[in-house]
Amino acid sequence: MKLVRFRTNDKDKNGVVINGGLVEINPSLLDAAQSPFDDLERKEFYHLDEVKILPPVHPSKVVCVGLNYRDHAEELNMTLPEEPILFIKPSSTVIGHEDNILYPPQSHQVDYEAELAVVIGRKSRLVNQEDALDYVAGYTILNDVTARDLQQKDGQWTRAKSFDTFCPIGPWIETDLDPSNQKIGMKINGQVKQDSNTKNMIFSVEELVEFISSIMTLNPGDVIATGTPPGVGPLQVGDVAEVSVEGIGILKNEVSHI
């Protein structure tokens, strides 16, 4: 099922996507993710175009994986990493579906990166691969927006990855998905720029949960961004970026001036 947070009449609500719209539900999305659909108390129905979609979670941190697609490593002529390369985007980067990505004046090359995102459902510390998916509430879509010139200039990635609005996520959490074999892509203004499959990931979702939870505690609602396939490129003000992951949907954001 697809679990969504939305705003209507200035109230933030939880819902489940159904029949081209959504139905309000009582429990939080992370609680709903652990319930069978039939057990959810369902309330009013809304059409998708009459509500504002919100980011599905407020993560305490977004843990991102650097190079994690074999085809992307080949594109860059890089050897495959032996361990995941991690970095963190602060929670202040997070925006939702159809919110604007704000182009910062400090950068002259802001890139898009289409990614599958894992939403953590339970506190995770020292989790084994075998149990990893029990700690996952579901999956959403993420655009790891990056000021590439500042990433190269700084060496450290924090500034380049951390501008406000640099982490669009959504539009919802899909609880039923095989993360190991889904098409993933990016369109800019309707033109295909990235087109791959999550089966090309170097480190699986299970391996990432084990690796990351051996370093830091993952809290419910935290997000793991699993890396981007080949075809990364620049965004311009006015561009519309659409990340798609098969089985989840499309995350769409326009780029605008601050």
Residue 210 sits in the site that holds Mg ion (CB under 5 A): no
Q: How far is the CB of 229 from Mg ion (least distance, A)?
A: 10
For Mg ion, the closer CB: 49 or 83: 83
> How many positions of this chain bind Mg ion (CB under 5 A)?
3
- Token pair belonging to 51: 């509500």
Site for Mg ion in 221-240 (CB under 5 A): 228
Q: Burial of 219 by CB count in 10 Å (0-12 exposed, 13-18 middle, 19+ buried)?
A: middle
Complete DSSP assignment for 156-217: S-HHHH-STT-EEEEEEEESS--TTS-EEEEEETTEEEEEEEGGGBSS-HHHHHHHHHTTSP
Q: Burial of 22 by CB count in 10 Å (0-12 exposed, 13-18 middle, 19+ buried)?
A: buried
Q: How far is the CB of 74 from Mg ion (least distance, A)?
A: 17
The one segment of 5-13, 37-45, 143-151, 212-220 that binds Mg ion by CB under 5 A: 143-151
Query: In the complex, which residue's CB is closest to Mg ion?
Result: 144
The one segment of 73-81, 139-147, 166-174, 204-212 that binds Mg ion by CB under 5 A: 139-147
The one segment of 97-105, 136-144, 166-174, 196-204 that binds Mg ion by CB under 5 A: 136-144
Q: How far is the CB of 148 from Mg ion (least distance, A)?
A: 11
Residues 6 or more apart whose CB falls under 8 angstroms from that of 120 comprise: 135, 136, 137, 209, 218, 219, 220, 221, 222, 223, 224
For Mg ion, the closer CB: 124 or 228: 228
Q: How far is the CB of 58 from Mg ion (least distance, A)?
A: 20
Residue 144 sits in the site that holds Mg ion (CB under 5 A): yes
Residue 113 sits in the site that holds Mg ion (CB under 5 A): yes
Q: For the chain, what is the largest distance between any 2 Cα atoms, rounded to a whole number of angstroms? A: 53
What residues make contact with Mg ion under the rule CB under 5 A? 113, 144, 228
